[in-house]
Structure 1
Amino acid sequence: MEFDTIAAISTFPGEAGIGIVRISGEDALEILSRIFRPFKKKDIKAVKSHTIHYGHIVDPETGEVYDEVLVTVMKKPHTYTREDVVEINCHGGIVVTSKILELVLRNGARLAEPGEFTKRAFLNGRIDLSQAEAVIDIITSKTMLANRYAQKQLAGVLGQKMRELRDKIMGLLSHLLALIDFPEENVEELEKSEIKKRAEEILKDIEKLIDASESGRIIREGLKTAIIGKPNVGKSSLLNALLRQERAIVTDIPGTTRDVIEEYMSIKGIPIKLIDTAGIRHTDELVEKIGVEKSKEVLAEADLILFVLDSSRELSKEDYEIFDIISGKNVIYVLNKIDLPKKIDETELKNLVGNGIIVEVSTIKGLGLDRLETEIYNLVFKGRVSAGEEDIITNARHKEALMNAKKYMESVLEAIEKGFSEDLITIDVNGALEEIGKITGETATEDVINQIFERFCIGK
């Protein structure tokens, strides 16, 4: 495919040691030859690919020297975009990089749109759509674990998995089409049980990926973890203890926390969004009442709840009410203040919790925090996947496509059970095939592709 020549600043704007202006397209070398004066006189268009050259950027109209630079020349097809690519490494700073970019644009380039360099890499067949999305995931990753999964996706692990799945679906579709097109020929027919077996295997593969997607979403976006409980049980102290810093105000006065406090931390590579909430209780004080309502809103949206109980006090009416509110949620019951004499009825607590996880801690003494972090980590993966697996789905768009493919394969199995003809079954098989193709880009619409690359920064 042929495109015009684009340019953009690829480094963060502001003061820095270096800045990079990137150019990609058919005229990249021609534009460079107009504005670059190499220290050793040479035809910059004729130099070897993937070489670096020292010189100055000069305005060809006025002769003004803009900056002393190093220029990297990379010739197609072995480049990021599979086009001729030039990178001008200049001094950092808004003024220098902006002036050089302006000069490049005046000499024939167009300002790149967000993500257009990566979009060209996709459209020119260098990477698939899932790999392109991995680029933005690498840039926005909050932990090394999230970065590692994004790096695997960029390396093509997910794309290969999707191609293997597409091959299985294509195999099923080919046999079904053969039965339709050559009903009287000596074609190896799949028995009904064999067709069903293949469809079930495909469905099982899709379901495995979907099961791993929740863990993947958390790795990518973070685990929304709400710390709740009645006033003065140590919620803010728990936040401070987990963060290893004094982030929230702690006093002996009930109702000190009036608003929601949010902070990020990492547990074994998993980004955790800790949310400290106002103590949940009945109150007539207006500000505290608003805080309690916000706490309930956060509770409804949380992936995980840390329900803090005070082991030095008996269970109260407010505790029982919170037990009712959190019913059906993912909860870890944090029994705080174990450094004080216990007054809570542990038998009653275990009856209320059932098979739930109870972790005893002392935020003052720093006891039990390691175990709490381990339990949070284990709850993320729920025993279904490990941090070393490669087929974790971290992207909501990919999960949606897999969910749609699952529905199509379930319809295939239903059609087989009801004895529908092969031509009707192929409709749903084709639907599953199209959904899997959306992940790697083979069947993604132009609107979807544009929406993906709009999330990128200009210059990437």
Structure 2
Amino acid sequence: METAMQPERNDTIAAIATPPGSGGIGIVRISGPRAKEVLARMFLPMSALVENFTPWHLHRGRVIDWNGEALDDALAVFMPGPRTFTGEDVAEIHSHGGAYLVQAVLESAIRYGARQAERGEFSRRAFVNGRMDLSQAEAVAELIAAPSREALRYGFNRLDGLLGQRTLELRDELEILRAQMCLAVDFPDEEVEGMEPAALCEVLDSVMLAVRRLLAGSRRAQIAQQGAQVVLAGAVNAGKSSLLNALLGRERALVTDIPGTTRDFLEETCLLDGLPVRLTDTAGLRDAEETVEQLGVTRSREKLSHADLVVLVLDGARLGDEGAAADACPDPAACEVLEAVGDTPLLVVWNKCDICMPKVFPPRWIGSRTCCAVSALSDTYVEELAATLRAVLLGGSAEAAPEDGLAPNARQSLVLENALRELEGLRADVVAGQPYDCCAVRLDLAASYLGEVTGLSSPAEVLNSIFAQFCIGK
């Protein structure tokens, strides 16, 4: 399998490292064997004592263009490799942040011997030069695009190498299994200790559990990165619109005592302690007679199928003590929601608890589902509800709790799923008594997939696709 483990080019690159537009400071970054030479040609230190750039020190001076004319009073720093981001010699010029000025500084660097960097080329050089694995390189872009504190945490843990280290540990366990299989295949008649099928399955079970835990974190990472779709559903007049307003902290949805006031879904975005959430208020579920309300109810049912979390809002004032003590759900709309959600996470909210807080709580028919009480109109327990919403959204899967902070992205999740599928097939083959030399094929594939997380066995086209999504200055 072709990999990009050696630098494709040994030239010097330059790019603007700060966002487009005007700002207080603009940074032009230069990386490569001629970084110091380019810097010396385009930057004149103010102090006559500076004859050679002291590594890792900021120097004040004038940036000059290719005609020798001064562009700006700026700061410059030279950082020798290999202990730099790219592993190469790196120079940076920190000028004032005018859009034209920063572009002029970049053009000077290019005129004096650098080349315009491609998208993600700095990070790719860091990967190629062994300064970071592929999961860390991806984390650079994810940190830049992080929309929430949770996304920052997951991205930073990947940047710190935690995910790459864990997958390499699992790959090493598979390498030990491979060695044991080779012993059994190469020396079948010798007194060489090989791994029995039962012991082999025990190791496979351990590795598969660890992979499932990593995959359990992928849903959390996706929600932290992209936000979660939370759908408020239930009967008419249950208080869904009031609950939306309470969570938003402002009057966004129209609230009346007239059943069927909400005739179409309404979406608003909010943050739950740093977690981005799209709240969707839907029309009450019932057999509507009016055409417009019928369309709204149909859309409500469609929204249920696309939710990351469904909040079933109950009208506590209408259900009362009898509804809470019942063994079967007494609310037709609630019954419909419970049937429709399937495997989608569900949170049951007993609204209007200021009117009726039942003696039996949570209601018997809710079973083991998460339930909380709230009064949307009086803001009672609304903060507790928001905390519960966040906890349910970031909760683990039923199969395995996610490893804290180890949340693979979509690409990493895909290769982990492929590895898990091969391991499950391998275990089935071992239990069925298949020869070890046949089983080793699946083991090799699983190890290769795990290696793709860190880039050990990633095809060049995969690397090209990943780094093409980066910004030019990173």
**Pair in the same fold by TM > 0.5:** yes
CA deviation digits over 1:318-351, x for unaligned, max 9? 5554444335532212222233368xx9989935
1:340 match: 355
Q: Which moved more, 1:347-356 or 1:72-81?
A: 347-356
1:91 match: 96
- Kept after mapping to 2: 8 A contact 1:34/1:60: no
Secondary structure of 2:47's aligned partner: coil
- Kept after mapping to 2: 8 A contact 1:231/1:279: yes
Q: Which amino acid aligns with 2:386?
A: E
TM-score normalised by the chain length of structure 2: 0.86
Which one of 47, 50, 57 corresponds to residue 51 of structure 1?
57
The 5-angstrom pairing of residues 4-403 of structure 1 reads: 4-41=11-48, 46-61=52-67, 63-183=68-188, 187-252=192-257, 254-256=260-262, 258-267=264-273, 269-283=274-288, 290-313=295-318, 318-340=333-355, 350=363, 352-379=365-392, 380-382=394-396, 390=404, 392-403=406-417
- CA 1:136–1:278: 2 relative to 1, 3 Å: farther
CA deviation digits over 1:252-284, x for unaligned, max 9? 5543463431303124x5443323334444557
Measured after TM superposition, the shift of residue 392 of structure 1 is: 2.6
2:421 match: 407
Secondary structure of 1:301's aligned partner: coil
Secondary structure of 1:401's aligned partner: helix
Task: Write the distance in 2 (CA, Å) between the matches of 1:276 and 1:446.
Answer: 46
Measured after TM superposition, the shift of residue 235 of structure 1 is: 2.1
Task: Write the distance in 2 (CA, Å) between the matches of 1:294 and 1:64.
Answer: 65
Q: Which amino acid aligns with 1:393?
A: A
RMSD value over aligned CA atoms? 3.0
Task: Write the distance in 2 (CA, Å) between the matches of 1:368 and 1:328.
Answer: 27
Q: Which amino acid aligns with 1:447?
A: E
- Kept after mapping to 1: 8 A contact 2:162/2:406: no
Paired residues, number: 454
Measured after TM superposition, the shift of residue 428 of structure 1 is: 0.7
Task: Write the distance in 1 (CA, Å) between the matches of 2:206 and 2:331.
Answer: 52
Secondary structure of 1:227's aligned partner: strand
Structure 2 stretches lacking a partner, 5+ long: 1-6, 320-329
Task: Write the distance in 2 (CA, Å) between the matches of 1:84 and 1:300.
Answer: 53
Measured after TM superposition, the shift of residue 356 of structure 1 is: 2.5
Task: Write the distance in 2 (CA, Å) between the matches of 1:129 and 1:369.
Answer: 42
- CA 1:30–1:252: 2 relative to 1, 3 Å: farther
Measured after TM superposition, the shift of residue 300 of structure 1 is: 0.7
Measured after TM superposition, the shift of residue 354 of structure 1 is: 3.3
- CA 1:390–1:334: 2 relative to 1, 3 Å: closer
Measured after TM superposition, the shift of residue 128 of structure 1 is: 0.4
Secondary structure of 1:425's aligned partner: helix
Which one of 423, 431, 434 corresponds to residue 417 of structure 1?
431
- CA 1:220–1:60: 2 relative to 1, 3 Å: closer
Measured after TM superposition, the shift of residue 81 of structure 1 is: 0.4
- Kept after mapping to 2: 8 A contact 1:13/1:93: no
Measured after TM superposition, the shift of residue 353 of structure 1 is: 2.9
Task: Write the distance in 2 (CA, Å) between the matches of 1:233 and 1:93.
Answer: 55
Task: Write the distance in 2 (CA, Å) between the matches of 1:404 and 1:243.
Answer: 41
Q: Which amino acid aligns with 1:456?
A: F
Task: Write the distance in 2 (CA, Å) between the matches of 1:287 and 1:59.
Answer: 67
Measured after TM superposition, the shift of residue 41 of structure 1 is: 4.1
Q: Which amino acid aligns with 1:48?
A: T
- CA 1:196–1:229: 2 relative to 1, 3 Å: closer
Secondary structure of 1:17's aligned partner: strand
Identity %: 37
CA deviation digits over 1:110-143, x for unaligned, max 9? 3222222111111111100111111122222233
Measured after TM superposition, the shift of residue 308 of structure 1 is: 1.7
Measured after TM superposition, the shift of residue 288 of structure 1 is: 5.2
Task: Write the distance in 2 (CA, Å) between the matches of 1:348 and 1:241.
Answer: 23
Secondary structure of 2:58's aligned partner: strand
TM-score normalised by the chain length of structure 1: 0.88
Task: Write the distance in 1 (CA, Å) between the matches of 2:374 and 2:407.
Answer: 34
Q: Which moved more, 1:209-218 or 1:64-73?
A: 209-218
Task: Write the distance in 2 (CA, Å) between the matches of 1:443 and 1:12.
Answer: 33
- Kept after mapping to 1: 8 A contact 2:120/2:472: yes
Q: Which moved more, 1:213-222 or 1:97-106?
A: 213-222
Secondary structure of 2:194's aligned partner: coil
Task: Write the distance in 1 (CA, Å) between the matches of 2:149 and 2:61.
Answer: 38
1:433 and 2:447 aligned: yes
- CA 1:105–1:247: 2 relative to 1, 3 Å: farther
Task: Write the distance in 2 (CA, Å) between the matches of 1:327 and 1:317.
Answer: 17
